[in-house]
Chains A and B, each alone.
Chain A
Amino acid sequence: MLGERSPLWQLTLARLRETVREPEAVFWVVGFPILLALALGIAFRNRPPERSKVAIQAGVGADSLAGRLAGARELAVEVLDSATAAARLRAGRVALVVAPGEPVTYRYDSTRSDSRLARLVADDAVQRAWGRRDVRPVREVKVAERGARYIDFLLPGLLGMNLMGTGMWVVGFGVVNLRVKKLLKRLLASPMRRSHFLLSFGLARLVTVVFEATLIVAFGALAFGVPVRGPLPVLAAVVLLGMATFAGLGLLVGARPRTIEGVSGLMNVVMLPMWVLSGTFFSAANFPAAMQPFIKALPLTALNDALRAVMLDGSGLAALALPAAVMAAWTVVSFGVALRIFRWR
C-alpha cells in the first residue's frame, strides 16, 4: 500500500518534506521546548531554603532581642527604626517586624505565607531564648527526591504543551495554508481520495511526534534527571493519544478559515485558555474548586495529568482511564465535526 505510486505515501512524504525543509518549523517542534525546559530548569533549580527576613524595631531591649534571635539559622535579623521597619514590611522586603517590650509584639501580614513562616520561627526562637523546652523528642529526615522537584513537574507539562502546539499548528495551519494557496482546490480536481489527504496529515504527524517526544523526554532525563517511572509503551501510548487529540482539534480549527489570519486567531482562542489553565507551568489545583470540572475536561489537562502520572508516579494503563477517556472523547468529537464542516473548496 505504501509503494512509490501510493498516493497516501506521496502525500505523507510531501507533508514531511515541507516540515523538514522549513527551519522555523523544526525549531518550534523540537528546539523551543528544549530551550524553555533548560531556561526554566535553571531558573527554578532547587536551592537551600531561604532565610526569612525579620526586622527588630529599635528601642529598649532591641539589641538583646536581636542577639537571641541571631541564633536561629532560618532567620536574617536586623535592627531598624520603627518608620523604616514599617516601610519595609509594607514593601515586602521584611516578612516580620518584632518590637521588643512587654509583651513582645509581632507585626506582620497574616495572608503572606513567608510572614506566617517568619512569625513561627521567630516566636520559636524567642520562646526558646526565654527558657521554653521541647517536651516530645522528634526526628527529622530531609528529602530532595527526583520526581518531586519543579523541573520534574515542568517537563511533562512542556511535552504536553508541545504536543498541543505542534499538533494544532501542523494540521490546522497546514490545511488552511493549502486552502489559501488554492492547492486544496487543485488536489480536488484530481482523483485524489479525500481520506488519503486527511490521513496523510496524521501519518506525517506520527513521524514527527516520535522525534519530538523522544527528544524532550531524553533531554529531561539527561540534563535534569527527570524520571520515566512508568512503562515506556504506556508513555508512548499516552503521547500518541495526545497527538491524535490535537491533530483532531487542529483539523477542526482549520476546517473553515479561508485566511491565515483567521486560523491564527482561532488557534489562539483555543490554545490560550489551556496554556493558563491546564497545569503546564503550575498545578491546575491552584484554581478554585468550582472551575476544576471544566479544567479537568480540557484536553491539555488530561494529557498533562496522564504524562505526569506515567513519568512521575509510574502509573500503568489502569490509572489513566479518566484522562485517556477525556482525550479519546475530544479526538472522536473533533474529527467527526471537522469532517462534517470541512471547507474543501
Chain B
Amino acid sequence: MVRAAPAISCRGLVKRYKDVVAVAGLDLEVRSGECFGLLGPNGAGKTTTVEMWEGLLAPDEGTVEVLGMSWAERDHELRERIGVQLQETQLAEKLSVTEVVTLFRSFYRRGHEVDEVLELVQLGEKRKSWVGKLSGGQRQRLAVACALVADPDILFLDEPTTGLDPQSRRQLWDVVAGFRAKGGTIVLTTHYMDEAERLCDRVAVVDHGKVISLGSPKDLIASLGAQHVIEFALGEGIAPPPDEALLALPGIREVRTVAGRTSLTVEEVHSSLPALLAELERRGLGMSELLTHHATLEDLFLHLTGRHLRDG
C-alpha cells in the first residue's frame, strides 16, 4: 500500500516563553484525510503546537511541513489551502453573519459560495443577524464557517466546543464529521475526551509540551489492559483502603486516588464490584458515591499522569 504524503509533519518542535517550555520536542505526523486530535489539559501546549503548524508562531527549534511545504518558503500559498479557527477570536459584533463570511471569502482565490457555507454550518436562517446577537454555539459555527469558506485541504479547530451546551457541541461535531467525510484533513485540539473519542481517527495525548501517548482512541483505551472503570468516594476525610488491599481484589488492574475519589481500572465490573463492596463493608467504611463506566481517554490520562484532564 502506498501511503499518501502526510498533511502535516513536525520534527523536534520546541517553543519557549521566557522560562516556560510550552512545547518540549514534538515529533508528529498528521495523515492526509484523517481527523487528528491533540488531547490534553489546559496549558499542555496544544494551542502553541497548533499555532506553529498554522504558521502563526515560529518554532524555537525543529521543523514544520504542511502539505509538503514549509512556512518560511510558501507562506501565502499555504494560507490559501488551510482553514483556521482560533480559540480566542472575537469576530466583529456589529457585522452580520453574511458580511463576516463574505469578508473572509474575499481573501481566497478559490472557495465555497458564502450561502453554501452558511447552510453547511446551519446558520442559513441567521445570515442577516449581527454577530453580537448570536449564541455561543452559533458564534463558534460562524468561526468554523470562516475557516471552511476557503474550501481548505486542512481544517484547524482549536477547542471549538469549549463552553458550549451539549446540543451546540453536537451540531459542531456534525460539521466536522461532514468535512471529514468529504476527504478533508482535520486537526482538532480539545480537553474533552468524549469529543476526541467521537471525532478523531488518531489522538495524541499531550502533557507538559510532550506527547505521552499516540494512537486511535480505541487502541489507547485498550492499552489500559482493562475495559471498565469503577469510581467511588467515601465520606469526607475518610481514607480509602490502601492500594495493596484493593489490588488484591479480583480483576482490579490499577488504583488511583485523586482528590478523595478513587478510580479502579477493572476487567469485569460484575466480579470486581461485589468484592470491593465486601472489602469496604469489612472495614466498616461507608460509600458516598459510586459509579462505573467504560474506560475512556480520561481514564487513560489519569493512568498516564495521575491527574484528571479537567484539573489542568
Chain A residues engaging chain B, CB cutoff 8 angstroms = 4-7, 9-11, 13-14, 17-18, 21-22, 181-183, 185-192, 345
A-B contact count (CB 8 A): 69
Question: Are A192 and B107 in touch, CB under 8 angstroms?
Answer: yes
Considering only CB atoms, which chain A residue lies closest to B80 in the complex?
Answer: A191
Task: Specify the main secondary structure of chain B where it touches its partner.
Answer: loop
Docked CA distance A5–B149 (Å): 13
Question: Are B99 and A17 in touch, CB under 8 angstroms?
Answer: yes
Docked CA distance A189–B84 (Å): 7
Of A22, A185, A345, most buried by chain B (CB within 10 Å of CB) is A185
Chain B residues contacting A345 (CB-CB under 8 Å) are 56-57
Q: How far is the CB of B89 from chain A (nearest CB, A)?
A: 4
4 closest cross-chain pairs (CB), A and B: A191-B79, A181-B90, A10-B106, A189-B84
Chain B residues contacting A11 (CB-CB under 8 Å) are 103, 106
User: Contact check: which of B90, B107, B150 meets A183 at CB < 8 Å?
Assistant: B90
Considering only CB atoms, which chain B residue lies closest to A6 in the complex?
Answer: B106
Chain B residues contacting A14 (CB-CB under 8 Å) are 92, 95, 99, 103
**Chain B interfacial residues counted at CB < 8 A:** 29
Q: Using A14-B103, A18-B95 as known contacts, say yes or no to A188 and B88 having CB atoms under 8 A apart.
A: no
Determine whether B173 belongs to the interface, using a CB cutoff of 8 Å to chain A.
no
Chain A residues contacting B76 (CB-CB under 8 Å) are 191
Q: Using A17-B94, A183-B90, A185-B56 as known contacts, say yes or no to A5 and B84 having CB atoms under 8 A apart.
A: no
Q: How far is the CB of B6 from chain A (nearest CB, A)?
A: 21
Q: How far is the CB of B77 from chain A (nearest CB, A)?
A: 8
Q: How far is the CB of B83 from chain A (nearest CB, A)?
A: 9
Chain B residues contacting A6 (CB-CB under 8 Å) are 106
User: Contact check: which of A21, A181, A192 meets B94 at CB < 8 Å?
Assistant: A21
Determine whether B272 belongs to the interface, using a CB cutoff of 8 Å to chain A.
no
Q: How far is the CB of B131 from chain A (nearest CB, A)?
A: 11
Q: Kindly supply a per-residue 1/0 record for chain B positions 40-80, scoring 1 wherever the CB is within 8 Å of any chain A CB and 0 otherwise.
A: 00000000000000111100000000000000000010011
Q: How far is the CB of A56 from chain B (nearest CB, A)?
A: 68
Question: Are A7 and B92 in touch, CB under 8 angstroms?
Answer: no
